[in-house]
Amino acid sequence: MVKITGGKVYDPKNGVDGVVKDICIDDGRIAEKADGNARTIDATGMMIFPGGVDVHTHVAGGALNFARGLVPENQRAARKFIHTPERRTGIGGMTPTTFATGYLYAGMGWTTVNEAAVPILSAKHTHEELHDIPIVDKSTLLLMANNEFVLDLIEVGELERAKHVVGWMIWAAKTYGVKAVNPGGVAAWKWGKNASTLHEPIEGYKTVTAAKIIAGLAQIIDDLGLPHPLHLHQNNLGVPGNVTTTLETMKVLEGHRAHLAHLQFHAYGGHDWGSMKSEAAAIAEAFNNYPNLTCDAGAVLFGDAVTITADGPWQHLLYELTGRKWGNLDVENETGCGIVPYVYSDRHLVNAVQWAVGLELLLLIKDPWRVYLTTDHPNGGCFWRYPEILQLLMDVEFRKEQIKKLPAEARNRIVLADIDRQYTLSEVAIITSAGPARALGLSQKGHLGVGADADITIYPAQANDDGVLFSYPRYVLKRGEVVVEEGEVRAVSEGHEFVVRPNFDETIEEYIRPLFQKTYTMSFENYPTEMERLRHPDVTACK
Amino acid sequence: MITLTLREQPVVPLEAEVVTPDVTASLANDAIRALPVYLGKKQCRVDDFFTVEGQASDEIEIRGDAKQVKWIGRGMTRGKIKIDGNAGMHLGAYMKGGSIEVSGNVSDWLGGEMTDGFIRVGGNAGGQVGAAYRGSRSGMRNGTIIIGGTAGLEIGMRMRRGTIVVGGLVRDFAGLEMKGGTIVLLSGAELRTGAWMNRGTIVSLAPIPLLPSFLYAATYNPTFLRMYAKHLGTLGITIPYDAKDGGYRRYIGDSSVPGRGEILVWNPHAS
């Protein structure tokens, strides 16, 4: 039993905003009261937040591992984690090793992460890496919008059967939700093409369009009753002028729940790199009127990054822009993947606009419950730099100082300088924890009400010497156990993995098996991930 | 001068990046003895392996067969390291200044990604001399490496500036993806010399097999080599440049990149 006394509590879900109150923990959950034997943590003068929840990150699996191999020079320069009695050896940096990923997230006060891109074919690999990411709880999203079995069913209008196939696949991969990446575009990439419009047929199909895939999957996910809505990486990511695609996609999604991932990369105007500008205001205005949608920022920070995405055609374009390294993977009938190391420069017009767009979206979207803090780690920047973004959101003077450093031409193409909004501490708790937990359908996360998991981050109320408020938590508790003190990992626990069990017709396997045996390079029996492979599964049954 | 005498050959390579004048110059001998070295994942002390004698100075002498000792002189900026015997991998890697002299052989990655300084090896060197570490964009950016004996694969890989001179035969891929600087091969090299080179100069005093993507340009006696020869002469290396003795056949490549590097092969007059 633990009792935390004297701290100001920020628990927006339960309407608590900076009130000094005791938090009691019993058996890893928040409790009404603690008995006299409870360990007491004196949090006087500190701020108590629900542990952070990252709704969109890339921390495990085949693509990330490929990226690790592609950038050894970054790993040499990265922070080293030396073996200690509590900790395993590891490397930080842009593509941290598994154990280091857990230490870095927990050390920052984040206690739940959502790995946003898992192909079924590398689900086993992903789950085994997730075992080795300690402390944090994990969920995973299955890549679906370029799966040829599903696309073939959409082609012939068999959405009902597609629903059962999707349900079977989610359970086969032991994942938590569905991610759509560049719907149709990755399938077209296998023909050297892309899907840059929503309503034209995808290469290789007669009737399938990106819009049909998006609407179909959103419908299937609603029908299956998954806790997390369709998690959508839209078409034309990163392309100047993609604002029209994004606005059109919002229309396609009318009547469905959906989460728009890394919206920053989808909010550009102009018609080429020279004329690219921010359209965050138009995107935010439209988004404000679609209560069915949530999004995450996918903010960009200046400095090194590694771009990792299933969006193969975009990665080839980015490689042609950088002229450095490029990795490309084909994942049989399911998806693809591209890796390109990238440096966001504050002297570069395009990068400066991207930096501003991420912040503009976070500031212009009115409801903090529908926009969440991410960098699409490691695409826009590393997750361990989130405190830098919080500082930019909370301090308008600091933000304006940073805007002055941008190239003059870039300042004409953004609206950030005109925004005076500053995030409150309660809003920070929403975009870092309460909001993403709600979007993921994790009712036990993101708040400090009785019965919630005791994932708690206690920050000093004063900024550190760099002026950054949230960089080093004083304490982090995971399921009631103190895992971090003074920014140092003190104890290492194993996190849980969230999995959903959708309702589907089990006989669908007889439809999938022959198709699979005809088209895949492995045997069907080895395809699904066994439950035994997950260390601490936490299974949610759908309605 | 500080003298480190290796007492016992480590069973696995010992990582001793503290053995640089920058670290030891201002330390008393007892403090040097307590410096950390790594044997695998185990942290040890310098005096678990070395006897430390002498007086604080920015000169270090290493005695004994240090072929298993890695990272000596890593990132050094000044002073001198004299190695009486062999040295292990990564000797003088990332060095910025000062000098290293080795009487015996050294292993791979000699002077890897060095930015300045001077290294002279009496015996043979391994591969990747002055090269870029895996994934890095550039190898050595300046400085001089002189090797009396042979050298291994990929010497000068992605080097940007500086000079490498090798007395003995060099193995494949000398100057791989070279971006600048000079490699002088006194006894020639094996296969694929200058593959993917962008710029820079490889001088060979012996005939070498060339990739088909190197194109013959001319036979001449470049003026800059006269200056190089004078400079190298002060370091005890003789290269011919006089038109009365012969000329250099100039090949441009690697045209498969396409690059604008050059390979100059000495072609003496028949006598």
Give the CATH number for residue A363: 3.20.20.140
- Whether this model's ipTM surpasses 0.90 comes out as no
The residue of chain B nearest to residue A324, with distances taken between CA atoms, is B137
The DSSP string of A445-484 is SS--STTSB--EEEEESS--TTS-SSSS-SEEEETTEEEE
The alpha carbon of residue A485 and the mean position of all alpha carbons in its chain are separated, in whole angstroms, by 26
Two structure tokens written together for A428:
């920070």
Identify the residue among A66, A71, A76 best suited for mutation to test binding to B, counting B beta carbons within 10 A and taking the highest. A76
Closest-CA distance, A78 to chain B, in angstroms, reads 14
Question: Residue A160 falls within a domain, yes or no?
Answer: yes
Give the pLDDT confidence score for residue A463 in this predicted structure. Answer: 79
| Partners of residue A74 in chain B, C-beta under 8 Å | 135
A269 part of a folded domain:
yes
Q: What is the pLDDT of residues A410-427, one digit of tens each?
A: 999 999 999 999 999 999
CA distance B42 to chain A (A): 10
> Is B137's Cβ below 8 Å from some Cβ in A?
yes
Q: Does B42 touch chain A (CB under 8 A)?
A: no
Number of domains present in the structure of chain A: 1
Quick one: which of B136, B76, B80, B84 has its CA closest to B111? Answer: B76
A72 contact B CB<8A: yes
A334 located within any domain: yes
Are B133 and A71 an interchain contact pair (Cβ–Cβ within 8 Å)?
Answer: no
CB-based contact A73 B41, cutoff 8 Å? no
pLDDT along chain A (543 residues), means of 10: 94 96 94 87 95 97 93 92 89 95 96 96 96 96 95 96 97 97 94 94 95 97 96 96 97 97 97 95 97 97 93 91 89 91 94 97 97 97 95 95 95 95 97 98 96 96 79 93 91 95 96 95 94 94 86
For residue A6, being part of any structural domain is answered with no
Q: Which of A68, A70, A71, A73 to mutate to test the interface with B (most CBs of B within 10 A)?
A: A73
The model's pLDDT over B32-77, given as tens digits with 9 standing for 90+, comes to 999 999 998 889 999 999 999 999 899 999 999 999 999 999 999 9
DSSP A453: B
How far apart are alpha carbons B76 and A87 in whole angstroms? 31
Model pLDDT for residues B243-270, shown as the tens digit of each residue: 999 999 999 999 999 899 999 999 998 7
**A459 to chain B, minimum CA–CA distance in Å?**
34
**Which of B41, B134, B137 faces A72 most closely, judged by CB atoms?**
B134
**Strands across the sheet containing A23-26:** A29-31, A23-26, A2-5, A39-42
**Distance (Å) from the C-alpha of residue A75 to the closest C-alpha of chain B?**
10
Q: How far is CA B241 from CA A97, B41, B131, B220, B235, in A?
A: 54, 52, 28, 10, 17
In chain A, which residues have their Cβ closer than 8 Å to the Cβ of B133? Answer: 72-73, 76
Are B134 and A73 within 8 A, CB to CB? yes
> pLDDT at position B271, please?
62
Cβ contact, residue pair B134, A74, below 8 Å: no
Closest-approach residue (CA) in chain B for A69: B135
Is A465 a member of any domain?
Answer: yes
The domain segmentation of chain B, as residue ranges, is 108-268
The verdict on A250 touching B (C-beta cutoff 8 Å) is no
**Residue B133 near chain A (CB below 8 Å):** yes
Query: What are B67-108's pLDDT values in tens digits?
Result: 999 999 999 999 999 999 999 999 999 999 999 999 999 999
Helix runs in A323-479, H state only: 349-364, 386-394, 396-404, 408-411, 425-429, 435-439
Does the CB of B36 have a partner CB in chain A at under 8 Å?
no
The verdict on B38 touching A (C-beta cutoff 8 Å) is no
In this prediction, residue A469 carries a pLDDT of: 84
- Single-letter code of the amino acid located at A158: E
Q: Do A72 and B135 touch (CB under 8 A)?
A: yes
Q: Which domain holds residue A341?
A: 48-442+452-497
> Closest Cα to residue A51, out of A539, A452, A468?
A452
Give per-residue pLDDT as tens, A231-270.
999 999 999 999 999 999 999 999 999 999 999 999 999 9
User: Are residues A89 and B41, on separate chains, in Cβ contact within 8 Å?
Assistant: yes
